[in-house]
Amino acid sequence: MEAQENDLSNEAAALADILTWSVDLPAWQRDTLRRLSNQNKLQVADITALVAICKSGATGVPLDASHMASEARAP
């Protein structure tokens, strides 16, 4: 049980580090991280949306703690 708790703690710490690191990234990269946090592969529609974000300067939907796996957020 302790090993499982340590794994979740390590995963939570890694996800928190990614979230902190991503804050200063361009909007399209933060949006990409959000998309990849919920799926394994970007689809054509995702890439089209990301290109639109790049071209328009829109903010997209940046990665935040709500997009992280719920198991990893548990202390």
Q: Model confidence over 9-52: pLDDT tens digits? A: 788 888 889 999 999 999 999 999 999 988 999 999 999 999 99
CB atoms within 10 A of CB 28: 20
Phi first, then psi, for residue 36 (nearest 5°) are -75, -15
pLDDT of residue 74: 41
Question: Where do the structural domains in the chain lie, given as residue ranges?
Answer: 2-73
